[in-house]
Amino acid sequence: MTWYDELTRLGAASAEQLRTAGATERELTAAVRSGTVIRVRKGRYAAPDAPLPVLSALRAGARLTCVSAARSYGLWGGMDSRTHLLVPTHSGRSVLEADQVRHWGDAEHDEIWRVSLADCLRAVARCADEETAVAVLDTGISAGLATPRRLRAIFREEPARARDLAARARPGSDSGVESILRQRLMRRGHLVEQQVAVAGVGRVDARVDGVLFVEVDGFRYHSDRQAFERDRLRDLGMALTGGRRLRFPAAHVLEDADGVVATIEAVLEREEMGTRRAV
């Protein structure tokens, strides 16, 4: 592995890391002049395609943390689009941009632009609202980056509130939106089973109270004709099994989760009334 491979692997690296990987000062200077490498600040280098949040963190002499770090790990980042930065405690009070949030603290991690996954999850539990925090943890489990057991270990020394959030995380939410809907339904006392296998249909996002299937459609999965036709075939398969299913766009859940829950409850009530009449 060359020093440039190491830079690509890490996303950004210190001069010391690159020298350890075999880079010379002459090579670094030449790479910066050719545009192959970006010198973000003294002793800090990044690949030319490094995402803006990475460059913002390096310019501030900080690391991405909280929901910003969560997004960099491929997890749900909630609706807070600001860049959350962990600034070393010994740093002066540098002026941040309007869309940046400062968190004070120190971190040891081989990536100089973001905190470790464990520190990221602990930070989310401290700074995000409860629903967003649980959604981040849910997607961490679904992505295979954590397990309920691992979360218990990560949060063992954290305050009771953070430990409670970790205990509420569940597998099955492929997106933060699915997690939000699950949380809202469970708070209303509903039984929610996720990623339920249905013969002739495949896996369905959720089954509520054992009778109503619910799916949340994200744009990236339903943005072409093939995806549309695949969903229609799944709907047909569900109809042939006699199962009832509701389908909601992810945007609707984000904009009015309580309204979506109300719709689900109205359908459940009608199902229950129909069952009573049949009896």
What would the pLDDT profile of 174-216 be if each residue is shown by its tens digit? 999 999 999 999 999 999 999 999 887 788 999 999 999 999 9
- Residue 243: predicted pLDDT: 64
Closest by CA to 14, choosing from 116, 87, 112, 107, is 112
**Kind of pairing, strands 212-217 and 202-208?**
antiparallel
As a whole number of angstroms, the distance between CA 182 and CA 188 comes to: 10
Amino acid at 158: E
CB atoms within 10 A of CB 260: 22
**Kind of pairing, strands 202-208 and 192-198?**
antiparallel
* 9 contact partners, CB below 8 Å, separation of at least 6: 1
What is the mean pLDDT of the segment spanning 134-140?
A: 98
Weakest mean pLDDT among 66-80, 124-138, 200-214, 264-278 = 264-278
CB atoms within 10 A of CB 152: 13
Closest by CA to 113, choosing from 37, 194, 19, 11, is 11
Q: What percent of the chain has pLDDT over 90?
A: 78
Structure tokens at 4: 């440039």
For the chain, what is the mean pLDDT? 89
Structure tokens at 36: 């192959």
Three-class secondary structure of residue 233 per DSSP = helix
Q: How far apart are the first and last CA of the chain?
A: 71
- Residue 260: predicted pLDDT: 98
94, pLDDT greater than 90:
no
Q: What are the sequence ranges of the domains in the chain?
A: 1-50, 55-171, 176-278
- Residue 222: predicted pLDDT: 39
Q: What is the CATH number of domain 176-278?
A: 3.40.960.10
pLDDT tier at 229, thresholds 50, 70, 90: very low
- Residue 220: predicted pLDDT: 47
- Residue 117: predicted pLDDT: 97
Positive or negative, the CA dihedral 165, 166, 172, 175 is: positive
Q: How far is CA 208 from the centre of its chain?
A: 24
pLDDT tier at 110, thresholds 50, 70, 90: confident
Amino acid at 85: L
- Residue 237: predicted pLDDT: 60
Compute the CA torsion angle 132, 137, 142, 144 (nearest 10 deg): 150
DSSP 6: H
| Phi and psi at residue 24, to the nearest 5° | -105, 165
CA atoms within 13 A of residue 72's CA, in its CB half-sphere: 28
127, pLDDT greater than 70:
yes
More confident residue, 278 or 53: 53
